[in-house]
Amino acid sequence: MFYNPLHNKWMRIVTAVFGTALMGIALNLFIVPLRLYTGGLMGLCQVLRTLAQEYLGLSFGAIDIAGAMYFLFNIPIMMMGYKNLGRRLAFRTVIGIISYTFFTSVIPIPEKPIVDDYLTGCLLGGILNGTGAGLTLTCGCSTGGLDIVALAMSKINSGFTVGRFSMFFNAALYTACLILFSPETAIYSVIYNFTSNLMLDRVHQQNVNAQALIFTHEDPRRLGDFILEKLGRGVTCWEGIGVYTGNEIHVLCVSMSKYETEELLHAVRKIDPKAFITVQQGVRVYGNFRRKVE
């Protein structure tokens, strides 16, 4: 049901922008009024904003200056990460950064929290933020930040991972929140970030591996060529025999992301409507398997 929206160039951009709007709503309506902090580069910008307001006495009016700081910090990061992203992803990342900055800057922050209970606010904000981030990433966009830095560093050192870098950075960030502010601020910020990451993993289809087995009586080379050329995935084919019918059948096996399964199913229905397909999600894939954001 998501094939057309997620595989249409302009609908993907619209959906990604909608995702950044959800992230802005989560941040400005639920997290900032509770004086909590998100993770990553935006979390660092929020801490710097608070320090500028409380220790330097600066006032920024109704505009949350953290969004503008986030945009400025992303300029050198994008310049550094351009070669690692490629032209298409770099273009969509710029769109994600601009829209995320826009929404976090213009969405009004309530003077009083919409939800007074910290735990409820963390959960609601985390669900909205994770859903928005997952939609944005699934549509091949990115909101920039430290993920680009980590990606560039992982190209230099194969033992360096984006997840590991994010974990250590957020640990340092929330330790700073613990020292500068209060234990409650740090603890509830961690709960918000944890909930957000859980939702992101649920929504982000390109982050979920899947394995498909296709049983067809048609020429397997048509499906094999589609998988190789359009999906950019390797495929294995072997011959089988149906126990009930005794007829020969071609079996194709391919590992891919959950996001790519819709495109595969769409192609199989066109090439062989009678094909039998099984898809298993959440499989572990090792070796020469390329994780990609398209």
Q: How many CB atoms lie within 10 A of CB 122?
A: 25
Separation of alpha carbons 208 and 202, rounded Å: 8
The per-residue pLDDT for 188 is 95
The per-residue pLDDT for 165 is 74
Contact status, residue 235 vs residue 289, Cβ threshold 8 Å: no
* Cα 286 from chain centre: 21
Question: Among residues 128, 287, 89, which one has the least CA distance to residue 206?
Answer: 89
Parts of the chain with a pLDDT under 50? 1-3, 293
The per-residue pLDDT for 157 is 59
The per-residue pLDDT for 1 is 45
The per-residue pLDDT for 175 is 94
Question: Among residues 73, 118, 52, which one has the least CA distance to residue 81?
Answer: 73
Number of alpha helices (DSSP H) and beta strands (DSSP E) in the chain: 11, 4
Separation of alpha carbons 166 and 43, rounded Å: 12
Contact status, residue 196 vs residue 124, Cβ threshold 8 Å: no
The per-residue pLDDT for 3 is 46
Beta bridge partner(s), residue 215: 251, 276
The per-residue pLDDT for 85 is 61
Separation of alpha carbons 242 and 200, rounded Å: 41
Question: Among residues 104, 135, 117, 130, which one has the least CA distance to residue 32?
Answer: 104
The per-residue pLDDT for 253 is 92
The per-residue pLDDT for 205 is 56
Separation of alpha carbons 16 and 145, rounded Å: 16
Q: How many CB atoms lie within 10 A of CB 166?
A: 18
Beta bridge partner(s), residue 256: 210
- Rounded to 5 degrees, what are φ and ψ at 80? -75, -40
The per-residue pLDDT for 47 is 93
The per-residue pLDDT for 151 is 62
Report the predicted TM-score, pTM, of the whole model to 2 decimal places: 0.73
Is residue 73 within a helix (H) or strand (E), and if so which, with residue range? helix 65-85
